[in-house]
Structure 1
């Protein structure tokens, strides 16, 4: 075997790396949701107080259901609501990032 030298621009290398990372993440996302199919009762999440009070969680639920997200985050069985926690975390972190970007533009929104 002979050693070969490959020469390319750093921008091309960065693009190749970012494309391969995006492809790998796209392949794992459906698997990650499939692993945790068990929905959790919303009351359990509310009692943990990790994402806020009961009213805050109801506000999030109403907002998510109004958006009509593709992956179902909340589902209703009888009179109880159940949620897929991993999908909710993804949505919650996306909302948090959006809020931080808005604060960079207008710091008066803090509060």
Structure 2
């Protein structure tokens, strides 16, 4: 897969998220959410969910797990996704033809 595949998948899933708003929670998650709601007293529960997503995203980026998953699936990193270019495209490494090692030193 490639950077274009990742961009397409993100756009598709963004549209899917807009279509589905409801989230089902298990008992443990409801209990934790209720405790956080009581302690932090947000305006609504959605605010806590937004904070949780931001925290999970930041932790995943900081730990390198996001880059690992993106590299495994799409062969790009988060920085490459943000810039819209692969590292090879940024450095110009993809502009040069590959060297033929068999004939490299023949005159």
Name the larger-Rg structure: 2
Q: Which has the higher strand share?
A: 1
Asked whether the two chains share a fold, i.e. TM above 0.5, the reply is no
Higher relative contact order (CA 8 A, sep 6+): 2
